[in-house]
Amino acid sequence: MITSLSINNFRGIKTGKIEGFADINIIIGANGAGKSTILEAIYAASAWAESIDNIRRQNKFDVIAYRRTERGGWNESRSFLWYSMNTGQNIEFTLSFSSGKTMNFIIPYTIRGMLASADMNKMIFLGKNQHYVSPEGYVIDERNNVIMRGSPVEILDFFKEEIEFLRDCTLIDKMLYTRMNFIEESVWPRVFAKRLDKIVINLIREAYEPDAELISYISTGLGKHSLTVGLSQTAVRVDDLGDGARTSMALALILSTMNHTVALIEDPEIHQHPTGLEKILSFIIDVAQLNKIQIFITTQSIDILRFLIMINPANCKIFTLRRRNGAIQSRQFTLDEVESLLESRIDIRRIIEELQI
C-alpha cells in the first residue's frame, strides 16, 4: 500500500507532499487544486513497473500527455507537464509504502547520450543509493547523462513487492468511460473467463436497468461486435445505455479484474444520479476490499462524502487539497470527522471551506 506521495515540478505542482494514505482515499478540492495531478503522478510512477497501460494498450506517458485534449502525445507535448514548462528541472515523485520502503523516481526532459528517439519508458528512472536506473538498466548521473548500461537487478530485487503492486495501476478517467472498445478488447475476456459479469449485471440491474439480465459480446453486423446488455424483452448495445449506466459498467468491469494494485478513479460522480452514485461507490468499496485494491478517488461531490459515511468502509480517509503558488497544502479527515462537520452545517460552501482551511 502507498502511504505517502511527494511531487516536484509536475504540472501545477511545484512542490507537494501528502502523507497518511489509507486503503480508500478521497481527494476533494476546488477546480485546479491539483487532484487529477495526484492521480497522474502515481500513474506516471507506475510506468517504471510497466510502461504499457493494461487497458488502453498504450504507453502511460502518452496517455498522460494527451488524455485531456488528444492534442499530441509525449514526444510532441510533454513540455506542458513540467511545472511552468521549466523543463530544465527533473520531474520527481517519491512514493512511500507500508513495507517501509521509499521509491524515488525522476523524469528528465531530455537525456544526453541517448538517441532522441529513445523509448518513452527509458525516460523514468528509479533511484537507489544515488543511482537512477531505467527499467531497461540505463543509469544516469545528476546531469542526465547516460553513463552506462547495466542490469537493474539490484533494484528489481529490492523493490520486488512494490514494483509488483504498481504494475497494473490503472487510471480510470472520463476518457476511458467513453472508450468501450478498449474495455471490450482488454477487459471483457478476463471478466467473462471468471464470470465476473454476474456481479456487474447485478449492479446495472440495481441502479440503472431493472430488467437487465445479462451482458454478452455479440455481433452487431458487418463484422462488428459490441458488448450488449440483454433486457427481458430486447437487447441494448453498451454504447446506447444511458451515460450513468455506461460509465458505471466501464468502472465495474475494469475494477473487477484488478487485483492487489492501485486504482486511480477520477471524478466518478460524472453522469451519476444520486442512486447510481451510491451503488457504484459501494461496488467500488466491496471490490477494493475483496481484491485488495488501494483506491484513490478525486471528486467535487459532497454526495460522495455522505454516501461514504453511510457505507462506513474500514480504513477510509478524506484529503482536502489547496494549491498556492504551486505548493500543495492538504488536510486529512476521518469519516467521523466529516460526519460531524456535515451535521453541524447546512451550507455546503461553508462545509467545503471548513474542510479546506
**Out of 9, 36, 59, 256, the residue judged to bind Mg ion by CB under 5 A:** 36
Beta carbon nearer to Mg ion, 80 or 113 = 80
Give the long-range contacts of residues 30-37, CB within 8 A, separation 24 or more: 30/322, 30/352, 30/356, 31/300, 32/323, 33/321, 33/322, 33/323, 34/321, 34/323, 34/328, 35/298, 35/299, 35/321, 36/173, 36/266, 36/298, 37/7, 37/10, 37/11, 37/12, 37/13
Least separation, in Å, of the C-beta of 36 and ligand ATP? 3
- As given in the structure block, the three cell numbers for residue 127 are 533511484
32, interface contact from Mg ion, ligand ATP, none, CB < 5-8 Å by kind: ligand ATP
Please say whether the beta carbons of 190 and 198 come within 8 A: no
Least separation, in Å, of the C-beta of 44 and ligand ATP? 13
Beta carbon nearer to Mg ion, 270 or 311 = 270
Residue type, position 107, single letter: I
Beta carbon nearer to ligand ATP, 35 or 279 = 35
Per residue, the 3-state secondary structure of 314-337, as one string, reads CCEEEEEEEEECCEEEEEEEEHHH
Backbone angles phi, psi at 82, to 5 degrees: -85, 135
Distance CA 230, CA 226 (A): 12
Task: Give the SS3 label for residue 354.
Answer: helix
Size of the site for Mg ion (CB under 5 A): 2
Beta carbon nearer to Mg ion, 321 or 338 = 321
Least separation, in Å, of the C-beta of 38 and ligand ATP? 7
Least separation, in Å, of the C-beta of 60 and Mg ion? 18
**Burial call 91-128: b when 16+ CB within 10 Å, e when fewer:** bbbbbbbeeeebbbbbbbbebeebeeebebbbbbbbbb
Site residues (CB under 6 A) for ligand ATP?
A: 11-12, 29, 31-37, 80, 82-85, 298, 300
Q: Say whether residue 301 binds Mg ion (CB under 5 A).
A: no
Task: Give the SS3 label for residue 195.
Answer: coil
28, interface contact from ligand ATP, Mg ion, none, CB < 5-8 Å by kind: none
Beta carbon nearer to ligand ATP, 209 or 269 = 269
80, interface contact from ligand ATP, Mg ion, none, CB < 5-8 Å by kind: ligand ATP
Residue, CB closest to Mg ion: 36
Least separation, in Å, of the C-beta of 13 and Mg ion? 13
Least separation, in Å, of the C-beta of 10 and ligand ATP? 8
Least separation, in Å, of the C-beta of 264 and Mg ion? 11
Beta carbon nearer to ligand ATP, 109 or 192 = 109
56, interface contact from ligand ATP, Mg ion, none, CB < 5-8 Å by kind: none
Task: Give the SS3 label for residue 86.
Answer: coil
29, interface contact from Mg ion, ligand ATP, none, CB < 5-8 Å by kind: ligand ATP
Least separation, in Å, of the C-beta of 327 and ligand ATP? 12
Beta carbon nearer to ligand ATP, 162 or 173 = 173
**Size (the chain), residues:** 357
Beta carbon nearer to ligand ATP, 41 or 95 = 41
Distance CA 78, CA 60 (A): 12
Task: Give the SS3 label for residue 26.
Answer: strand
Place of cell 502518452: 62
Place of cell 470527522: 337
Binding region for Mg ion (CB under 5 A): 35-36
